[in-house]
Amino acid sequence: MEIAYVSTYLPQRCGIAAYTSFLIDGIRETSSDVKVRVIAEKEASPVKNEFLEVIPCWSRNEDYVKQILAHVGNVDVIHVQHEYSIYKFDERLPSLLRKIPSNIKKVLTIHCVRPGQVCERGNVDEEYSKKIARLADHIIVHLDSQRIILSRLGIPTEKISVIPHGTKIDDQDQEASRKRLNLPLDGKILLMFGFVKPHKCIHIALEALHKVLRELKNVYLFIAGGLAPNAPKEHEEYARFVERRIMELGLEKNVIFGNKYFPDEDVPYLFGASDIVLFPYYEEDRSASGSLHLSIGAGKIVIASRIPKFEELKNISDELLVLPYNVDAIANLILRIFTEPEFNQFLFKRTMEYREITSWKNIAKKHLELYKKLL
């Protein structure tokens, strides 16, 4: 079987590029009779070996239909990794899907589904998702809420598979990780990861830490990230607000916030150094969280907002989901995890089970089973 992925690819800095790379690694580990081709955006690096060929040949800013079709060849399955910011909302992707030869099965992973009532463009996003979904032979989404929206839009249930986002298993020693990052060797570390943006609600984590410190003194919040390149003014204002709030709450000694970017090679150690990872976000996108799976892959207990993005956390324990802005619930949950060994072990055991279920090897198996079924 030969599979062609249409996607961004490494070393391009893109979540979809990393996702596709991890999926291909899982396929390589799982099957010896599969060949993979990546028809990649031009920022990717070319690769050619017996298993994998990467062909950087198209650009989101050009008419990429002919550029991609020229490299489809005689593959059995063509699998498009879709994200709105890559493919926009014009007729190029629908045209590509129509022009792929009928003997090639067309699979589409829709990474984000935005319902009209929470989208600044109204119904544009969901109508576009409906259009491209109709042109594919099969659709993959990561969340059940995404499946339900596509079903509402008239996509047959049997044409949609819910396959979770994959998990990279990476166990870094905690003490070594803290030494590498110059973090406190004693005490407990709460981690928030990624670019500083208002919807991530760092201020809620600060309020929760303030409450935790009334009962446990040796607890730190590590805000591992800074402003994104070309961050808008409101993000800059939010970062300044976070810095002010740290001082107002008297948390200078317990918050580590360098407001800086951490390179990819440091990411496993960020999670390795932590005890709990916090996602007190407030957003409406229906998309899975790669950072959530990095946390799970590191064997870390996660506390997250009860929003669509983190709905799969219920597969570990529904108790790890809290209502947005609920400072008391976050603080109390942190305290239980740190002070009740049986509760801690229950959550840890469930986390370890789920990371195995969603390991990239097992997610790759699910993809291969789907491809074979379609053929």
**Rounded mean pLDDT, 345-350:** 98
The amino acid sitting at 203 is H
Q: Is the pLDDT of residue 257 over 90?
A: yes
Q: What pLDDT does residue 261 have?
A: 85
Q: Is the pLDDT of residue 183 over 90?
A: yes
Taking residue 319's Cβ as centre, other Cβ atoms within 10 Å add up to 15
Dihedral sign computed on CA atoms, order 140, 141, 144, 149: negative
Q: Is the pLDDT of residue 122 over 90?
A: no
Dump strand ranges (E) for the chain: 2-7, 35-41, 47-48, 52-58, 77-82, 105-110, 112-113, 138-141, 160-162, 188-193, 219-224, 255-256, 276-279, 286-287, 301-305, 321-322
Give the Cα separation of 361 and 357 in Å (integer).
9
**Rounded mean pLDDT, 314-339:** 98
Superfamily assignment of 174-357 in CATH?
Answer: Glycogen Phosphorylase B; (3.40.50.2000)
**Rounded mean pLDDT, 228-254:** 95
CA-nearest of 274, 270, 281, 333 to 311 is 281
Q: Is the pLDDT of residue 330 over 90?
A: yes
Kindly report the CATH class assigned to 2-166+360-374.
alpha beta
Q: 66 pLDDT band (50/70/90 cuts)?
A: very high
Q: What pLDDT does residue 229 have?
A: 86
Give the Cα separation of 73 and 90 in Å (integer).
25
Domain extents for the chain?
A: 2-166+360-374, 174-357
Q: Is the pLDDT of residue 264 over 90?
A: no
Q: What pLDDT does residue 258 have?
A: 86
Residue 241 CB partners (closer than 8 Å, separation 6+): 203
Encode pLDDT of 358-373 as tens digits: 999 999 999 999 999 9
Q: What pLDDT does residue 340 have?
A: 98
Q: What pLDDT does residue 351 have?
A: 98
Q: Do domains 2-166+360-374 and 174-357 have the same CATH topology?
A: yes
